[in-house]
Amino acid sequence: MFEFDIDATDPQSGGRNGRFHTPHGILQTPVFAPVGTAATVKAMKPSDLQALGASLVLSNTYHLYLRPGDELIRDLGGLHRFMDWDGPILTDSGGFQVFSLGDTRKIDADGVTFQSHIDGSYHRFTPERSVAIQENLGADIIMAFDECPPPTDRAYVEKSLTRTHPWLERCLAAKTRSDQALFGIVQGGVFPDLREASARFMMDLDLPGYAIGGLAVGESKAEMAATLDVLDPVLPRHKPRYLMGVGAPEDVVNGVLRGVDIFDCVLPTRIARNGSALVKGGRLNLRNAQYTADPAPLATDCACYTCTHFSRAYLRHLVKANEILGHILLTTHNLHFLLDLMRQIRAAIERGELRPFAAEFLSHYPADVPQLPL
C-alpha cells in the first residue's frame, strides 16, 4: 500500500507523471486537491467534484476537531462516509491554522495551547493529539504536526525546526493505523541550508511521502521557486511530494517543473465567492463595470458548464445580486480551470514537452512570475 509508481518523466525538467496507491483509489499525479475545510468543498456536491474530474480532496483537522468533532465523525463511519466521498482524502495536521491564531495560542516544546475561533474555549494540540484526531477522521493521507514559522526570520525558523523535527518522530510513534500514510512536512523558510537539513532529517525516517510547508505565506514567488529548486534534487524521486496550500495556476506550473506531485489550495473557491474567475494570465473580477453587458464567456476556450452556458454579463449580475448560483458557477469554472490544467500538464509530460508547454503558459503572466528553471 502507498506505492508511488512513476510512469513518465519530462526530459527537460523535474516534472513526472505518477500513480500513488491509496486505500480509496489510485491518484494520478500531478494532482490538484480542492479544499473541503469543513468536510465540504464550498458550493460543490461530491458528485459535482467527480464530474469535474477531482480525485483527491483535502479536509481540515483543526476545523473538524472543533466542529462537529472528530469522535462524532469517527462514530458515523469516518470522513469518507460522513461527506460521501469515496476517493482519497488528505487531512492537514491543524498546525497551520493553530499557528495562524497569533496571540490566542501559546507554543512550548510539547505542543500548542490555543483558543477556539468559534467560542474562545481553550484547547491543546500535541503531535500525539493531532495524529489521534486524524486517525478518527480516517483520511488516506495525514500530516505530521509541525510549526509553520515566518519564512524570512532565520533565527525563528532555526528554533522552530528544533520543535518540528522531534514532533515528527512523536507523530510516527503515536500512529496506529496502517491504512493511513503519514507525510512529514519539510520546513526551513526561504533558507536553502535549513530546507535541505529539514529534508534530509525526514528522509532518514523513510516516510511514504514528503510535504513542503511554509510557502505561499508571504515570501515572493521567486523565493518559492528558489526553495523548490533546492529541494528537487534532494528529496527522493520515488516518493510523492506535496506542496501545501499552493494553487495559483502559475505556481502550480512552476511547482510541477520542480518535481512537485500534489497541490491544494482554497484559492479557486475563495475567489469565486468574491466574484473572480481564473483565466490564463490572471483573473477576471466580475464586479468591474466593464463586464456589465459583455456577452462573452469567461474564457472562449473553456469547456466547463459555466463557460458553455453563461455570459460574463449574466455572471456579473449574479455576483452583484449576491445570488448563490453565482458562487456555484464561478466555483465550477475555477475548479475546472485548475483540474483541466493538471490534465494538460500530465499530457505534456507524457509527450516529453512540459518545458515548452510551461513556457507558453507562463508567458501570459506578469514578469515577476518565475519562468523555467535552469
Cβ atoms of 58 and 35 within 8 Å: the answer is yes
> 3-state SS of the chain: helix, strand, coil percent to 5?
40, 20, 40
What is the distance between the alpha carbons of residues 19 and 3, in angstroms, rounded to a whole number? 8
Cα 179 from chain centroid (whole Å): 21
Which residue is listed with cell 475548479?
335
Instruction: Let me know if 92 is a catalytic residue.
Output: yes
Cβ atoms of 121 and 153 within 8 Å: the answer is no
Mode of pairing for the β-strands spanning 16-22 and 31-34: unpaired
What is the SS3 assignment for 126? coil
Cβ atoms of 335 and 327 within 8 Å: the answer is no
Instruction: Let me know if 264 is a catalytic residue.
Output: yes
What is the distance between the alpha carbons of residues 80 and 89, in angstroms, rounded to a whole number? 8
324 burial (CB, 10 Å; 0-12 / 13-18 / 19+) is exposed
| Catalytic site residue from 10, 70, 92, 232 | 92
Type of residue found at 42: K
Cβ atoms of 11 and 352 within 8 Å: the answer is yes
**Catalytic center residues:** 92, 264
